[in-house]
Amino acid sequence: MSTLNNSLRNTMWVEKYRPQDLEQIVNQNEIVDGISNLLKNPEAIPHLLFAGPPGVGKTTAALCIARRLLGEDWRKDTLELNASDERGIKMVRERVKSFAAVIKLVTDSSNEHKMYRLIILDEADEMTPEAQTALRRIIEDSSKTTRFLIICNYLSQIIDPLQSRCVIFRFTRLTEKDVVDHMKIICKNEETSFEEKALAKIYEITSGDLRLSINILQASAATKHVSISTVHSAMGMSGKARVSEIIRLAISGKFNESRIKLMELTTVFGISHGDFLKYAYQEIYSLKLPNPNKIAVLMAEYDFRLATGAHPDLQLTAFLAQLALQASDQQ
Are 37 and 44 contacting, i.e. CB atoms less than 8 angstroms apart? no
Cβ proximity to another protein: between 112 and 313 the closer is 313
CA distance 240 to 305: 22
Checking phi first, is residue 253 left (phi over 0); if not, alpha (psi -120 to 50) or beta?
left
128 DSSP assignment: -
Q: In the complex with another protein, which residue's Cβ is closer, 143 or 281?
A: 281
Residue with smaller CB distance to another protein, 108 or 290 = 290
What does the alpha-carbon distance between residue 129 and residue 43 come to, in Å, rounded to a whole number?
A: 30
Nearer to another protein, 64 or 115 (CB): 64
Closest alpha carbon to 221 in 263, 179, 192: 192
Rounded to the nearest whole angstrom, what is the least distance from the CB of residue 94 to another protein in the complex? 10
* Pick 222 or 287: Cβ nearer another protein: 222
Residue 326 CB, nearest distance to another protein (Å)?
A: 9
3-state secondary structure 34-55: HHHHHHCCHHHCCEEEEECCCC
The nearer residue to another protein, 11 or 24, going by C-beta atoms, is 11
Distance from the Cα of residue 86 to its chain's centroid: 15
Residue 273 CB, nearest approach to another protein (Å): 9
Q: Cβ 262 to another protein, closest distance in Å?
A: 11
Contact call for residues 68 and 32 (beta carbons, < 8 A): no
Q: What is the CA radius of gyration of the chain?
A: 22
Contact between residue 64 and residue 50 where contact means Cβ atoms under 8 Å apart? no
Please, are residues 65 and 39 in contact by the beta-carbon 8 Å criterion?
yes
Query: What whole-number distance in Å separates Cα of residue 178 and Cα of residue 203?
Result: 10
Please identify, using beta-carbon distances, which residue of 3 and 107 lies nearer to another protein: 3
| Helix, strand or coil, per DSSP, at residue 225 | strand
Given the rule CB under 8 A, which residues bind another protein? 2-8, 11-12, 14-15, 54, 59-60, 63, 80, 82-85, 122-123, 126, 209, 211-212, 215-216, 218-219, 222, 234, 237-240, 253, 255-256, 259-260, 263-264, 267-272, 274-275, 279, 302, 305, 308-315, 317-318, 321-322, 324-325, 328
Least Å distance, CB 199 to another protein, is: 17
Nearest approach in angstroms of CB 80 to another protein is 7
Cβ of residue 242: shortest distance to another protein, in angstroms?
A: 8
| Smallest separation, CB 130 to another protein (Å) | 11
Based on CB atoms, which residue is closest to another protein, 161 or 253? 253
In whole angstroms, how close is the CB of 255 to another protein at the nearest point? 6
* Closer residue to another protein in complex, CB, 165/273: 273
What is the distance between the alpha carbons of residues 133 and 253, in angstroms, rounded to a whole number? 44
Question: 327's torsion region: left (phi>0), alpha (psi -120 to 50) or beta?
Answer: alpha
Tell which residue, 19, 27, 50, has the closest CA to residue 169. 50
